[in-house]
């Protein structure tokens, strides 16, 4: 199954919330895949990648826990020596299905005691905003500058001759970037996720939803 060949791809992200003390003792790692087997729509998938947190991440997380729990030395399973950072991504036939699927994953993870929400990467590069910026700069150069009184340029007469060329140059650059983003020449976050990250997550581990029971694949 090509993980990129779905209508929508979303990621589970943390939402600021209170810290609970859910336990991971005595859990069955295979319980979640079994639960998802009956819930995943056909053509959907869930991929999880895990890595060790950096020292900076550990310090930031410990400080956040200390603040949330009201103690200088927080006790929580997420600060253990073997704690891992997980990235959870899902794909499906639509955003509603992906959001529901990731909500089920978060609810079914033993010991997962943080509130989450689903985010969907932008389908266009943010530089597309260069198109309206280019239009605004062009209008300013053609219409706005001639309307300014001469007293405005009294303090910087040399800038008067350069203002219009500079605005036209900035408008051209913004327009080129905006057009490249709008036409896909600049890859969007959604494109990068489909082209690069989904393959790595598939190798790390993915659950795929078909008409048959859910299966787990790993490298």
- What DSSP string describes 118-162? EE---SS-GGGGHHHHHHHHHHIIIIIHHHS-GGGGTT-HHHHHH
Q: Are residues 56 and 162 in the same domain?
A: no
Q: In this structure, is residue 162 part of a structural domain?
A: yes
* Count of domains observed in the chain: 2
Which helix (DSSP H) or strand (DSSP E) does residue 12 occupy? strand 8-14
Q: What is the mean predicted confidence (pLDDT) over 199-216?
A: 43
| Rounded-to-integer distance, Cα 2 and Cα 18, Å | 37
Whether the per-residue pLDDT at 72 is higher than 90: the answer is no
Q: In this structure, is residue 194 part of a structural domain?
A: yes
Q: Are residues 50 and 137 in the same domain?
A: no
Q: In this structure, is residue 2 part of a structural domain?
A: no
Could you give the C-alpha distances from 86 to 76, 78, 209, in angstroms and in order? Answer: 17, 11, 21
Q: Are residues 39 and 135 in the same domain?
A: no
Of the pLDDT bands very low, low, confident and very high (cuts 50, 70, 90), residue 131 is very high
Higher pLDDT, residue 19 or 157: 157
Of the pLDDT bands very low, low, confident and very high (cuts 50, 70, 90), residue 190 is confident
Q: Are residues 79 and 15 in the same domain?
A: yes
Higher pLDDT, residue 136 or 22: 136
Q: In this structure, is residue 3 part of a structural domain?
A: no
Q: What is the mean predicted confidence (pLDDT) over 63-83?
A: 77
Q: Are residues 175 and 132 in the same domain?
A: yes
Q: In this structure, is residue 207 part of a structural domain?
A: yes
> 91-95, 107-111, 206-210: lowest mean pLDDT where?
206-210
In this prediction, residue 16 carries a pLDDT of: 67
Q: Are residues 23 and 41 in the same domain?
A: yes
Q: In this structure, is residue 72 part of a structural domain?
A: yes
Could you give the C-alpha distances from 78 to 27, 51, 196, in angstroms and in order? Answer: 16, 13, 28
Q: Which range marks the domain in which residue 155 is found?
A: 126-182
Q: In this structure, is residue 58 part of a structural domain?
A: yes
Higher pLDDT, residue 184 or 30: 184
The model scores a pTM over 0.85: no
Most confident option among 38-42, 131-135, 141-145: 131-135
Could you give the C-alpha distances from 190 to 50, 88, 91, 194, in angstroms and in order? Answer: 21, 15, 11, 6
Contact status, residue 36 vs residue 207, Cβ threshold 8 Å: yes
């Amino acid at each position: 199954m090509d993980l990129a060949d779905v209508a929508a791809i979303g990621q589970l992200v943390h939402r600021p919330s209170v810290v609970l003390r859910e336990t991971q003792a005595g859990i069955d790692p295979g319980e979640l895949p079994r639960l998802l087997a009956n819930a995943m729509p056909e053509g959907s998938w869930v991929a999880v990648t895990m890595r060790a947190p950096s020292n900076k991440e550990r310090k930031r997380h410990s400080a956040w826990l200390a603040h949330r729990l009201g103690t200088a030395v927080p006790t929580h399973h997420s600060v253990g020596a073997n704690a891992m950072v997980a990235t959870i991504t899902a794909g499906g036939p639509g955003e509603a299905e992906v959001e529901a699927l990731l909500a089920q994953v978060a609810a079914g993870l033993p010991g997962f005691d943080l509130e989450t929400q689903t985010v969907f990467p932008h389908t266009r590069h943010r530089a597309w905003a260069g198109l309206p910026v280019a239009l605004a700069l062009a209008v300013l150069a053609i219409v706005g500058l001639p309307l300014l009184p001469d007293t405005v340029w009294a303090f910087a007469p040399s800038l008067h001759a350069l203002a219009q060329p500079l605005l036209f140059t900035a408008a051209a650059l913004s327009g080129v970037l905006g057009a490249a983003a709008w036409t896909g020449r600049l890859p969007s976050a959604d494109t990068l996720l489909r082209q690069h990250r989904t393959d790595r997550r598939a190798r790390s581990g993915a659950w795929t939803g078909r008409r048959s029971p859910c299966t787990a694949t790993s490298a």
